Amino acid sequence: MRFYDEMTSAGGGVRPHYEQYAHWLAQQPPDTISAKREEAELIFRRVGITFAVYGDQAGTERLIPFDLIPRIIPAAEWKHLEAGLKQRVTALNRFIHDVYHEQEILKAGIVPPEQVLGNAQFRPEMMGIDLPHHVYAQIAGIDIVRAENAQGEGEYYVLEDNLRVPSGVSYMLENRRMMMRLFPGLFARHGVAPVAHYPDMLLEKLRAVAPPSASEPTVVVLTPGMYNSAYFEHAFLAQQMGVELVEGQDLFVKDDFVYMRTTQGPQRVDVIYRRIDDDFLDPQVFRADSAIGCAGLMRALRAGNVNLANAIGTGVADDKSIYPYVPRMIEFYLGEKPLLNNVPTRLCREPDSLAYVLEHLPELVVKEVHGAGGYGMLVGPASTQAEIAAFAEKIKVHPEHYIAQPTLALSTCPTYVESGIAPRHIDLRPFVLSGKTVSIVPGGLTRVALAEGSLVVNSSQGGGTKDTWVLEK
């Protein structure tokens, strides 16, 4: 399989947008770089940019490896990505609103009703509740990968939409701060679009979706607590926005209003940027054993006295079984052609697709729609004939349970590894913010799979991160 490299073209030349950087890199003595790497690690530790490790003794904290070579995106490519992301997230928000109101897309037969209504992430409690600006996913993390197309060009694909509590934005911000601290000279000559205004933009969006009755809305960030793996990010965002970081125990509901306990008595809360899953938000409505939520929250929400970001029930739109329908949503709600590619996905429930899938199993990845974490999945190129034959039988019995995608060749980017600099696979998660309008800071979080040949970029699996540069021209 051939991989598209972000820096080097197939012929071995450096791509134009990397030329200046490659030139600079070639001039750096090796010990300067290793000194910078150590410095970066030291600073990350002191600043405490760590994530907690589950299952370990409380307080065990690890660093996510940070790679010094940036992933660079040329201005024109970003322009296209940005437009496509805004379009996609707008349609997804329209979809969620529709699902919890008129359900026109179901009536029109575009998305099969049972795919939505039978979904565990569908929250009937949200039916008929009107949210400010009809926004459900104020914060969306859209995972994007790049692979080589038939013409040998790198093509962007949306791999996954994350509309519940997407994380990682603090790493985007800290990675940039680190790069500017380590290599100030590089930024002077490169014209890299800044990202530091993200918290400002986020606060603006959160205030924009406050209940109309709140004239000076109070925004808080709700965290499960300091032993949560993403606690650093919760604290970071609260601090950068200048709002309180609350835990469930700090909140209470009285007469359908939400208050926080302060040193000056109860204070009203209007918008909660919650970093807790739906299930744990309100023990009166969802899981009764939740100790990290706030009883009565749903009641306050229904009364229109508080708003949550993201809304309850957004999971209905970022599920694997819904993903294949996103391009059709865009056409249905916006009357536009989708600007960003989905990974071509075949729904085995459709007879034509089923026939194709059964014929091409050795080259496809087949996923169970409700499966997660690679469970119940067939990776054609890595499977034996017997395995494929057995899987084919399972598909024939319940075709509606399966989707199929081509095996993706994630693009690579040069990365520091033990042996020097080598290509490693990467993805990209831009953060799309919706309030009155939709905005994105240029770039996102680039994750990199540090093990040779690995396509798994998750930090829990030894993935690292890189700074992401969107060039201004």
- Under 8 Å CB-to-CB from 412, ≥6 apart: which residues? 3, 4, 5, 6, 423, 424, 425, 426
Judged by CB under 8 A, which of 131, 169, 260, 309 binds another protein?
260
**Cβ proximity to another protein, 131 vs 237, nearer residue:** 237
Judged by CB under 8 A, which of 5, 247, 282, 319 binds another protein?
247
Q: Does 277 bind another protein (CB under 8 A)?
A: no
What's the closest the beta carbon of residue 8 comes to another protein, in angstroms? 38
Kindly state the tokens that stand for 254: 């009285």
Q: Does 109 bind another protein (CB under 8 A)?
A: no
**Cβ proximity to another protein, 220 vs 470, nearer residue:** 220
Q: Does 292 bind another protein (CB under 8 A)?
A: no
What is the three-class DSSP state of 393? Answer: helix
Judged by CB under 8 A, which of 73, 195, 206, 245 binds another protein?
245
Judged by CB under 8 A, which of 77, 155, 160, 244 binds another protein?
244
What's the closest the beta carbon of residue 218 comes to another protein, in angstroms? 12
Q: In which residue are the tokens 């060749």 written?
A: 409
- Binding residue count for another protein, defined by CB under 8 A: 22
Mask for 29-58, x = binds another protein (CB under 8 A): ----------------xxxx----------
**Helix orientation angle between 198-208 and 231-241, rounded to the nearest 10 degrees:** 80
Q: Does 252 bind another protein (CB under 8 A)?
A: no
In 394-441, DSSP assigns E strands to 402-406, 412-417, 420-429, 431-434, 438-440
**Spatial contact of 302 and 129, defined as CB atoms under 8 Å apart:** yes
**Spatial contact of 243 and 291, defined as CB atoms under 8 Å apart:** no
**Cβ proximity to another protein, 13 vs 48, nearer residue:** 48
Kindly state the tokens that stand for 112: 């099969």
CA 26 to chain centre: 34
What's the closest the beta carbon of residue 252 comes to another protein, in angstroms? 11
Q: Does 238 bind another protein (CB under 8 A)?
A: yes
What's the closest the beta carbon of residue 222 comes to another protein, in angstroms? 12
Site for another protein in 198-237 (CB under 8 A): 226, 235-236
**Cβ proximity to another protein, 241 vs 450, nearer residue:** 241
**Is residue 444 left, alpha or beta, with left meaning phi > 0 and alpha meaning psi from -120 to 50?**
left
Whole-number Å distance between alpha carbons of 465 and 459 = 8
Q: Does 63 bind another protein (CB under 8 A)?
A: no
What's the closest the beta carbon of residue 241 comes to another protein, in angstroms? 9
**Spatial contact of 465 and 448, defined as CB atoms under 8 Å apart:** yes
Q: Burial code of 298-337, b = ≥16 C-beta within 10 A, e = fewer?
A: bbbbeeebbbbbbbbbbbbbbbebbbbbbbbbbebbeeee
**Cβ proximity to another protein, 85 vs 179, nearer residue:** 179
Q: Cβ atoms within 10 A of the Cβ of 452, count?
A: 12
Q: Does 246 bind another protein (CB under 8 A)?
A: yes
Binding site for another protein (CB under 8 A): 45-48, 59, 226, 235-236, 238-239, 244-247, 249-250, 260-265
